[in-house]
Amino acid sequence: MGSGTFLCKKILADTFPEDINAYLIAVSNTRLEVGLSQTVQTAGEQVANLILKLLQDEQPHA
Interval 11-62: pLDDT, tens? 888 888 888 777 777 777 778 878 888 888 899 999 999 999 999 988 876 5
List the one residue out of 17, 10, 40 whose CA is nearest residue 28: 40
Residue type, 18: E
Cα 58 to chain centroid distance, Å, stands at 18
Chain segment 6-23, per-residue pLDDT in tens: 777 888 888 888 887 777
d(CA 52, CA 42): 15
**Predicted local confidence at residue 23, as pLDDT:** 79
